[in-house]
Chain A
Amino acid sequence: MGKPILVVKDLSVEVDGHTILDGINIEVYPGEITVLMGPNGSGKSTLLYTIMGLRRYRVLKGSILFNGVDITNEPPWTRALRGIALAFQNPPRIPVRLEYIAKKIAEKHGVKGVVSEYASSLKIDRLMNRNLFHGFSGGEIKRTELYLLVIKKPRLALLDEPDSGVDIDSIREIAHHINMLTDNGAGVLLVTHQGYILKYLDDLGRGYVMYNGRIIYSDTVFNVSKKVLLYGYSKLVKEVTRGL
């Protein structure tokens, strides 16, 4: 299995004075997709944003190790340049053309030649001259977010519900590109609410279920998604408490 690329140790996080995450422990391995499931508001996105280092998310205790280096107090741009990339669930609209931002991101990460290739394979060519996320459909937002992530060739990809609000064709395209990430040795931490995308993904590793800011259950992704579909989240909590 090798060494984990990401280790989250006993992490507690607050946002605007409210504790959202409480004692989270998670590991992500290179070339493998780790899946985090949970109901709305359970803290899944908060965990991804905290790993990325966004400033609203204040670490109360615990640590985040990337490739063995403690990055808990690093700003987001340093983490990004180390190889951590986040695809937002609801990215903000930015009044700048997508092509311009993609070019700047590629320059920043020293990547050449793949920018237009990925735009074509993710079918967002025709959006390149539009302002970022202005008037984009749900599927276009997800594909664009993944595009801006893959052009950086990340070592750790944090994907926040890339399958929500998109049609089946888009899910297949998105899954294909996630599989490409792990094929290239990246570790993936994938947040999914419903788990629709899982059947299109290879290299599935560990699965976690988060509920009220805590990890309540962990197993293989196959077993985790089976239990979620069987019980639903509320009943799963009761089953876990009873000793599943």
Chain B
Amino acid sequence: MVIEVSITEVLDKALKKAYESGLELGKQGSLILDESMVFHKLSRALEVYGVVYTSIRDAVERYPDIVEKYMITGIDLDKVDNGVLLYVPRDTRIVDPVYTCYTIARKGVVQRVYNLIVLRENAEAVAITGCMSLVPEGVHSSNTDTFLDRNARLYKVMIHNWLPGIRIGSLKKAYLMDNSFYHDYYINITPPHNMGFKIELYLKGRGSTALSNTILVGRDNSRLSYETIAYLDGEESSVELLSRMLGEDNSRIYSRSAIIARADYTRGHIECQGLQLSSNSVLSTTPILESHVENTRLTHEASIGRISEEELEYLMSHGFREDEAVSIIVRGFLEHGLDRVPERIRLLIRQTLDRLVSSSM
């Protein structure tokens, strides 16, 4: 028996799931379904100002100089299915977020992605990426290179909403030039079967700053491995690597954060906290601080614990049932660092966290 599924039906499902995840693709963004970019949309006004937002295939043809100049990874683009280029010219600020949605819709598909984000001097952008699946089997492999020129500011939010049979491999590299700022915020709403995630931040410019917020939720039998390395190469550069891990069911989360100071007058801080909701789950965190210079200040704090009876009783005495008390502690625990996210994307993250906690309890 052959079951025919129309592309319209799949597209409808993909768009529905994207909108449920808060990705307003119709405003400004793109949808990549399996190996193909189905559509992309950018405000005409931004195009007039020289902003480029297109598929990486199109970028290779039309903007080879940009791709060649700013690519960090050195990946063979012939082996890539798709991805996007976001290029923001100097002195240009994109106020509204640019949404990119990757969806695995065909069982067993291997989605190989390359993204390139370039913000020139004094440019600013908010890039929100959602990765999701409609079928419970597939592979998503992505590389993202980010180049932030002097005084550029990028807020990058990534929301993962996979199904249990999906396997993920992701590598993000970012170069930060003088006084640039990069805020990377990652949440997984529903964990895949297996995920390996690595971020490399190269703070090359004087006074460059990076902040990485990671929310990792392990459920069922998922295995999540997350690694962030920041190289403080520019004088007076600074970085904060903050992560929250939530261990449920039989999940395992391994988190490794490293800061390597190679320039003077630098600062770095690692904060990793884990909350274990199941005795069958495993949480592991490894903070690494390494200094090659005399004038740097590197610190870390890490803790893993359970919700105590005292915490639950305290909240119950304020009028909450036990399940509500657990939910408040989990939700509040995950919300850490949200006050530093710009107002225009805070609501999206709050709604994502609300969904995450309600599906957890």
Contact = CB atoms under 8 A, between A and B. Distances in A.
Interface of A: 52-56, 75-77, 80-81, 85-86, 88, 91-92, 94-97, 100-101, 104-105, 108-109, 129, 131, 148, 152
B318 interface: yes
A71 B318 CA distance: 16
B317 A76 contact: yes
Output the residue of B273, B314, B331 with the most chain A CB within 10 A.
Answer: B314
Given A96-B328, A101-B332, A91 B314 contact: yes
Interface stretch (B46-54, B105-113, B276-284, B305-313): B305-313
Interface in B269-294: 273, 275
Q: How large is the interface on B (under 10, 10 to 19, 20 to 34, 35 or more residues)?
A: 20 to 34
Contacts of B313: 54-56, 76
Contacts of B335: 96-97, 100
B74 interface: no
B339 interface: yes
Contacts of B308: 92
A108 B319 contact: yes
Contacts of A108: 318-320
Contact of B316 (A75, A94, A152): A75
Contacts of A75: 316, 321
Given A54-B313, A88-B314, A95 B333 contact: yes
Interface in B180-237: none
A152 B314 contact: no
Nearest to A105: B318
A71 to B, nearest CB: 13
Interface in B311-347: 311, 313-321, 324, 328-329, 331-333, 335-336, 339
Nearest to A83: B319
B318 A94 contact: no
Given A55-B313, A88-B314, A92-B311, A80 B319 contact: yes
